[in-house]
Structures are given as structure tokens and as C-alpha cells.
Amino acid sequence: MNKQFLPVTLEECRARGWDAPDFVYVTGEAYVDHPSFGHAIIGRILEKAGYRVAMLCLPSWQDTADFTRFGRPRLGFLVSSGVIDSMVNHYTVAKKRRHDDYYAPGGKAGMRPDRATIVYCNRIRQAYRDVPILIGGVEASLRRFSHYDYWDDKVRHSVLVDSGATLLMYGMGETSIIECANWVADGMNPAELPRLRGVCYMSKTPDPTCLQLPSHQEVATDKKKYCEAFCIQYDEQDPIRGKRMCQQQDKDRYLIQNQPSLPLSREALDAVYELPYTRTWHPMYQKDGGVPALQEVEFSIASTRGCFGSCSFCAITFHQGRIIQSRSAQSIVKEARMLTSLPNFKGYIHDVGGPTANFRKPACSNQMKVGACKHRQCLFPKPCKNLEVDHREFMGILRELRNLPKVKKVFVRSGLRYDYIMADRDTSFLKEFCEHHVSGQLKVAPEHVCPYVLDRMGKPRRELYDAFVNRYDQVNEKLGKKQYLIPYLMSSHPGSDLNAAVELACYLRDLGFQPDQVQDFYPTPGTLSTCMFYTGLDPRTMKPVFVARSPEDKAMQRALMQFSNPKNHALVRKALRLAGREDLIGRDRECLVPPERDPRRSQQQGGKRDNPAHERKAIRHADKAPQKPRRHGRDEAPQGRGRSRSRK
């Protein structure tokens, strides 16, 4: 099979001898034929199965013209918003429009609509009323049930209802796309629908063989019912033991979700990454300077998928699942050799990982037999006694990669679970990792330090992170390396009140670390934390949870994390007074901010600013990054950087 792009015009289809494509793939991002992009994988999977696929990327949605570019496809349309939910792609957590879209040509924003999956499907229905439409990708996957929508601030129907699509494929779609394509090609027999794994569809009657969820009407009006529905969905998100589910959407329409797709074997996952990708953007984007998102992954290797870490704020559990799937060492090394032959390769492999880089196999042998445990987590609150901790294969792969000709350095930018590292009795992994695979800074994600916030997040206690910091420092000291830890921290997560934010600020003060950027909790569909945010309840216990909702509450929590910035002093003082912590306002060493300037004293000093040593130090930290940052946890840490794509 030649390495050529799939057709993007009718002329290219005819050049291949096609009278019409079998499927037109509509997606809300630029066409990049690289295995980090879902549309590339699905297109190549279908091509290998013998289907004719044409790509319709970033179509104009104001009318139907672009959607008729190829004429009516022989079998149907495939629709995805892209690798990111279109609302997350367009808006910050403050609901402000983003200025860039890294998945569009030249990074230009505004080339896809809000709620792209729904808009695209509606335009297709206008053009071809009865054509089959199959939707998938992150946006469809995480919105498959009735769900709270942060941007509308209400519970919306399943995206399958609003889009009018024929089928919804959730999770990773390599298996389900072929089964669904075959189902369409064979005539779409309704009796065959219950056997299609990883699929949701609409029915006019409830299915008595399914678990019955609270209806859309119930979850939209009763927050306890919303919690009940979410817990059932969350518990059944397992391909081994999970059950089919049914949720009434309106008077005579019922959403049916079949069981998740089974995990891919290593051989099957290897085959996905050996398809004939061109590994670059389509030439039609050259005039725009290409597609910025490719730069992040061009010399990175995806080695795993799935995560048993189960952080409450992460949607991976609901999309990829808790059972780890990984590629073989041979497949990864083969891809690395190919990367070294590319013309732009400079000797650096930027990443080898996935959602969690140091997870290479299921948490325990039971997961592949009976599924992931219901109502239990593998790492929280403490590692399960059945957890199998082993870094040897991962380090063996990294060792092979760094010994390849032309490779100067192999980095790991995906998330590393430090609690998994601490659970490993063999301490050699951290030593070798620090010696060869850290580029001066290692980013890990304690997320917070307050116990009751960490419990809501599903993250380990602060003491474990402190122990990891000490071990990391000791390892680097023995290696004679000056390498630093950058902690990812989150503000305004459900459960985080002002007292928790003050506790985190004091921790940062003692640590000597001030982040450049602060990440507010972002309520996205499909996460446990979003359920808490909407309902004000922990669905696992049904106990009330504090939620910072107002812009001022969120601003105060952010300001406390950057207390040394003079621009934040007034807001920090207000937060400290509301929390009853006026003792932290002053000029003592333990104080976070100086008191307000005394105008009478300022006049006596000729209008000069009251600038004690404590405030001078704060200004220096806020405005000037040190040239050579000192050891993390000792004196000062380097200033924080921007957040990367993965956080563990």
C-alpha cells in the first residue's frame, strides 16, 4: 500500500477509479495523517479493511455546499469534532474565547463551530435526509448520556439525540468502526445492534435486558438522580464485567449503550501503528505554515493507552478505560528507527508514553479475567495489595531507544505517576530515569496538599509527594545533577474552599515555589469531578461538597497560589480575611502578603512605596526568573512553566 493521503476532493476520488467514496469522514480539525490524530487512525483502519474513505476536514458549516463535495457516499458519513471537545477547544475555563486552534491550519481559530458534532450532522441531514451517520471521537464519547454542560450550565440530552446520528461509537474506535461499517454495508439490520460493542443507539422502546438509568427528565431536575445515573455509568465502564445500559431521553426514545469494546491485544495495537501513515499534514496546508499540533507529536511515540490511576477530574476512565493496553518493545523501537530517518529529526525523541507513561500493563492479572474492581481504585487511597508494580519493561524500552544510532536523548513528557514509582520496591528505575531521561525538570502532579481536596481528586496524600521529592533530590545529588521538580497544582476543584487554598499557599511558601500559571478546575463531560461540580454532592457518598462557583471565589484561589505577585496582594488579603487568617498578612517571615500601604506613612516618606524586604523578595520572584534556579524544596524552586498535555 502506497503512502499517500486519502482523497480530499472528488477529483482525487475519481483518479483512484472511485465512482463515489464508501464513507466521507467529516472532522473538525486539519487533516494530519499521523497516528496521534484519531481521524488518521480510523481512516487507515477502514482503508485496510477495503473501504473507500474520503476526508472532509474543517468544512464550512454555514450551508451544505462542502458536505456535498463528494456527492452522496455509498454507505454513509463519519463525523468527529476532533481529538478535543469543540467547546474545550474554543473556550477557557472562564468561558472566554481562545485566540488559537492548534489543530487548524496556521493555528487559526474559528474554523470549526461550537458543538461541532451536532452542527456537522445537522448539515449532513439537510443535504441527505436519510443517509447513515456514524459519530465518534472524544466529544461524542463523553457526551453519550444525558450530561451536565458547563457552557450552557444545564443538563443536555445525549449528543446522539441532538445530532440525529444513526450510531455513536464511544471509546477507542479501532474495533467498533469496522463492526459498524460492516453493519451498514450489510443493510443495517436492527436485530444485530445489541452485539456491537462500543456503540450507542436509539430505540423506541426500553430494552429489558439493560440496566435502567434514571431518565433525562429525572437527571435534569434532580441532582441526586444525576449522581445515581453517573455512578452506574462509571461503574459499568468496563469491557469485561460491564453491563448494557438504557436511559430514556424523551417520551418515546431510549438511548441504549452496549458494552465497551474489548482491549486490543499487543499484536493488534502494534498493527494500528504500522499502517502507512504519511506522518505529516496534508500539502494543502503548506501555504498556512502547516498545523501547529503536529509539532508536539512529530517525534513522539505513543506506547500505551488507558489508565488505572482514575483521577476524578480526568475523562480517560470514561473514554479509554482503566485496563492498560500497550505496544510491544519491538513495535516501539521500529517506530523510533523510522523517526531517525525523517529529514527534520535532530536526535531527540520528545516523548514515549500515553495517558500515564509508566503504566505498561494492567494493574493486576485479575483485570483481564474479571475486569477492573467495582467501587475500588488501584492506587487510591493506597495502592491495592494486588497491584503489580514493575518498571523493568518500560526502562528496557527506553534503554533500547537511547542506544539507537542518531538518537541523542529520549525524553518522557507524558505523565508519570509518582505514587506508582514510590510503590516499586526496586528503586533502580528512578535512578536510571533521572540519569538519562530528564531534561533538567521533571513535571509531576500532586495537584493539591489539603487532605479533603485530595480525597475528592482521588490523589494520594501530601506526605507521599514529599517523600518522592526527597527521593528525587537524593537520586540527583548522587548523580551530581541539578534537576528540578515542577509540581502541577489545581485551584477551585470541588472540595477546595478558601481554607484549603490557604493551606496550599502556605505549602508553596514553605516550598519556595510560585507557579507562573494556575490551572482552574475545568468541568468537562464524563468526569467524576464534573458530577461534583454540578450537583454539589460526592456521588460515591452523597455527602455535600463545597464548590467554588463565582468568578471572585475562583480568582481568590488562583491569587493565593501566586501570592507573591504584587498584582494579587489585594485579592489575597481579602481571601485571608474571609478565611480568618489575618495572621498571614504582615511583614513576618511566615506572612504571605504585606499589609495595605499606610497613606500617612507614604506621605512622610515623600510618596515612596512602602517596600519591606519581604515584598522586595516577592516582587523579585514574580517579575524575574532566576538564571540558575536552586534545588526544589531547598530555598527556592524554579518558576513554573505552562501545563503540558498530560498530567499525572
3-state SS, one letter per residue, for 196-207: CCCEEEEECCCC
pLDDT in tens, 164-196: 999 999 999 999 999 999 999 999 999 999 999
Q: Is the pLDDT of residue 647 over 80?
A: no
The verdict on pTM exceeding 0.75 is yes
**73 belongs to a structural domain:** yes
pLDDT of residue 598: 61
Closest CA to 319 of 525, 75, 164: 525
**252 belongs to a structural domain:** no
Task: Round to whole Å and give the CA distance between 340 and 562.
Answer: 42
pLDDT in tens, 586-644: 999 999 999 998 655 545 544 444 443 344 343 333 333 333 333 333 323 333 333 33
Question: What are phi and psi for residue 492, nearest 5 degrees?
Answer: 65, 20
pLDDT of residue 648: 47
Count of structural domains within the chain:
2
pLDDT of residue 601: 54
Rg of the chain over Cα atoms, rounded to whole angstroms, equals: 26
At residue 247, the 3 state secondary structure works out as strand
For 55, the domain range is 10-201
Domain final position from 152, 186, 201: 201
Q: Are 145 and 158 in contact (CB under 8 A)?
A: yes
Q: Find all residues with CB under 8 Å of 268, minimum gap 6, and list them.
A: 174
**451 belongs to a structural domain:** no
Task: Round to whole Å and give the CA distance between 489 and 640.
Answer: 10
pLDDT in tens, 484-534: 999 999 999 999 999 999 999 999 999 999 898 889 999 999 999 999 999
pLDDT in tens, 249-291: 999 999 999 999 999 999 999 999 999 999 999 999 999 999 9
Q: Are 176 and 199 in contact (CB under 8 A)?
A: yes
Task: Round to whole Å and give the CA distance between 442 and 644.
Answer: 11
**121 belongs to a structural domain:** yes
Task: Round to whole Å and give the CA distance between 114 and 122.
Answer: 13
Pairing between β-strand 133-135 and β-strand 76-80 as defined by DSSP bridges = parallel
Q: Is the pLDDT of residue 408 over 90?
A: yes
Ordered DSSP codes for 17-39: T-SS-SEEEEESS--B-STTSHH
Q: Which helix (H) or strand (E) holds 168?
A: strand 167-169
Question: Across 324-376, where does the E strand assignment appear?
Answer: 325-326, 348-349, 351-353
**150 belongs to a structural domain:** yes
**427 belongs to a structural domain:** no
Count of residues in the chain:
648
pLDDT of residue 638: 32
For the record, the C-alpha cell of 366 comes out as 485479575
**216 belongs to a structural domain:** no
Domain final position from 201, 228, 244: 201
Other C-beta atoms lying within 10 Å of the C-beta of residue 366: 14
Confidence of residue 375 (pLDDT cuts 50, 70, 90): confident
Q: Is the pLDDT of residue 217 over 90?
A: yes
Q: Is the pLDDT of residue 462 over 50?
A: yes
CATH code for the domain in which residue 47 is found: 3.40.50.280
pLDDT in tens, 556-577: 999 999 999 999 999 999 999 9
Query: In the predicted model, what is the mean pLDDT of the chain?
Result: 92
Closest CA to 73 of 209, 169, 166: 166
**327 belongs to a structural domain:** no
Q: Average pLDDT, stretch 7-30?
A: 97
pLDDT in tens, 476-491: 999 999 999 999 999 9
Confidence of residue 2 (pLDDT cuts 50, 70, 90): low
Cis before 381 (ω within 30): yes
Task: Round to whole Å and give the CA distance between 443 and 415.
Answer: 8
pLDDT in tens, 380-405: 999 999 999 999 999 999 999 999 99
Domain final position from 201, 224, 250: 201
pLDDT of residue 600: 54
Closest CA to 528 of 458, 584, 589, 597: 458
Q: Are 333 and 400 in contact (CB under 8 A)?
A: yes
